[in-house]
Amino acid sequence: MLQTAGANRVLSVDFHSGQIQGFFDIPVDHLVAAPVLEHYLKTHADTNTLVVVAPDAGRVKVAERYAQHLGCDLALVHKTRPRGTANVAEARHIVGDVAGRHCVLIDDMIDTAGTIVAACDLLKAQGAGEIWVMATHALFSPPAVDRLFNAPVSRVIVTDTLPLGPERRFEKLEILSVATIVANAISAIFEDSSVSDIFGGENLL
């Protein structure tokens, strides 16, 4: 649809699936919000006690990159899918030491928040200390706001890639801007320089 409408280049932030990039016949620049989220953690958290937690196996690579950049530990929420069910995943146990630690769950998006809140409950049951949730895209489809508000988390940090009206805002929520990342990418394109260099090549899928 974008190409039919006349677009000749696309900039996107944190694709949910890397394969999306291959469906375009025009240049696609994949940007990542990691620098913004990592800066927040370096500024507001003690990385000596921090544990970056991947909410599922599909996010381990991204979570591991955060852990390396921040110099902190990594943990994983192991999920299983009950036999005979579709679109159902249950958080079963934590791989890694989270007892008494400050845990940060990092995902690309939060839709209904069912998966992320189940992971938070499991972390708390395993003795985690403070729990934060981080995501690039805040879809917040109902009942996400209620789930997050009542979850055992002290902060929910997202970016402004999607507009969030007052009905989807709550006390624990913090919204970070990705404007600088997008602006730098646009500048690189117009100056005919490398967009990947902005991210040290770590935006490549």
How far, in Å, are 172, 188, 195, 202 from residue 180 at the CA level?
Answer: 24, 12, 13, 17
How far, in Å, are 12, 30, 32, 61 from residue 198 at the CA level?
Answer: 14, 11, 10, 20
The per-residue pLDDT for 80 is: 66
Q: What is the pTM of this model?
A: 0.89
Tens digits of pLDDT across the chain (205 residues): 999 999 999 999 999 887 888 899 999 999 999 999 999 999 999 999 999 999 988 889 999 999 999 999 999 998 766 666 555 556 578 999 999 999 999 999 999 999 899 999 999 999 999 999 999 999 999 999 999 999 999 999 999 999 999 999 999 999 999 999 999 999 999 999 888 888 776 766 5
Cα dihedral 133→136→141→146 (10° resolution):
20
Q: Exposed, middle or buried: residue 171 (CB in 10 Å: 0-12, 13-18, 19+)?
A: exposed
The per-residue pLDDT for 198 is: 80
First and final CA of the chain: distance in angstroms?
22
Whole-number Å distance between alpha carbons of 59 and 133: 14
Structure tokens belonging to residue 92 = 């079963």
The per-residue pLDDT for 194 is: 86
All structural domains of the chain: 1-32+178-205 (no CATH), 34-177 (3.40.50.2020)
Catalytic choice (61, 79, 124, 172): 79
| Catalytic-residue membership of 172 | no
